[in-house]
């Protein structure tokens, strides 16, 4: 069974930084893509895109891990952040969507 386990959320002051990690584990053939989404209270889940100087997404294929480095955080970045991966369980199989459990990021003074 495939699992995505996230870590690194928490409470940070405006202007601060956080680094989220998401590691995939279990039995699978390949990981096609890994990325991040977020959902703020009362809003729909949205994809997190790289923002120069603020959000950087990187991936370590050897560790099956994706990172989200967040700098210059703002109160409007407060949300639950979810890891997403499209994973093929066997050779030739279309990738399936997997989600992490979510990690809370709160930006507040």
CA distance 104 to 86: 22
Residue 55 confidence (pLDDT):
97
Nearest to 18 by CA among 7, 30, 31, 32: 7
What pLDDT is recorded for position 87? 97
Give the mean pLDDT of 7-19.
Answer: 97
Residue 8, pLDDT score: 96
Distance CA 46, CA 82 (A): 10
- Provide, rounded to the nearest whole percent, the portion of the chain with pLDDT above 90: 98
Task: Region of 23 please: left (phi>0), alpha (psi -120 to 50) or beta.
Answer: beta
Paired tokens of 7: 């870590």
């Amino acid at each position: 069974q495939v699992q995505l386990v996230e870590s690194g959320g928490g409470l940070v002051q405006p202007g601060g930084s956080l680094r989220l990690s998401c590691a995939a584990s279990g039995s699978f053939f390949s990981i096609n893509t890994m990325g991040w989404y977020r959902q703020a209270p009362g809003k729909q889940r949205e994809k997190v895109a790289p923002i120069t100087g603020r959000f950087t997404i990187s991936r370590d294929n050897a560790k099956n891990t994706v990172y989200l480095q967040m700098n210059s955080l703002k109160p409007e970045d407060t949300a639950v952040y979810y890891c997403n991966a499209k994973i093929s369980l066997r050779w030739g199989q279309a990738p399936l969507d997997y989600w992490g459990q979510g990690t809370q990021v709160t930006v507040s003074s």
